[in-house]
Amino acid sequence: MSTVLVIFRSELRRRWRSWVILVVLVAVVGGLALAAVAAGRRTASAFPRFVADHGYDVYIFNDKPVVGLAKLPGVGTVTSVVIPGYGPPTCACNGQINFTDFYVNELSPSGLHRVVKLVAGRMPDPACQHERLSCSKR
């Protein structure tokens, strides 16, 4: 045992700098790998967390409002959505728009937070005329 200890001490005296560099390199690479795994887990759970916070569990389509829907057991909130128009949409730029990729809904300002997540700023105030969203020709 003492022979191994003598050899270890002599190697430590000669090569301590390279051992320290090797330990630092392993620590940096291990830290980067752990950071990448943590970022991957957070990214993989981003959409399910968003749906849990802001998404719908059930979407009911009906021509008239369903009376008493909000009072059913297990129903947390009810957001009414109005479909302002029917029929295939057209565009002056290229004629027909793919009907399966196009859908227009009208939401009340109080129901907008259930569909849209505001990243910065604030929602427009419906009482202020100049803050309403409008389309303009370019």
pLDDT value at residue 11: 86
> Taking residues 39-45, what's their average pLDDT?
92
- Is the pTM of the predicted complex or chain greater than 0.75? no
Q: Where is mean pLDDT largest: 1-10, 15-24, 48-57, 105-114?
A: 15-24
Whether 135 shows a pLDDT value over 50: the answer reads: no
Q: Residue with structure tokens 């409008």? A: 134
Burial class for 107, CB neighbours closer than 10 Å (0-12, 13-18, 19+): middle
Going by pLDDT thresholds of 50, 70 and 90, the confidence category of residue 132 is low
Q: Give the pLDDT mean for 61-87.
A: 77
Interatomic CA distance for residues 40 and 99, integer angstroms: 36
Structure confidence at residue 137 as a pLDDT band (50, 70, 90): very low
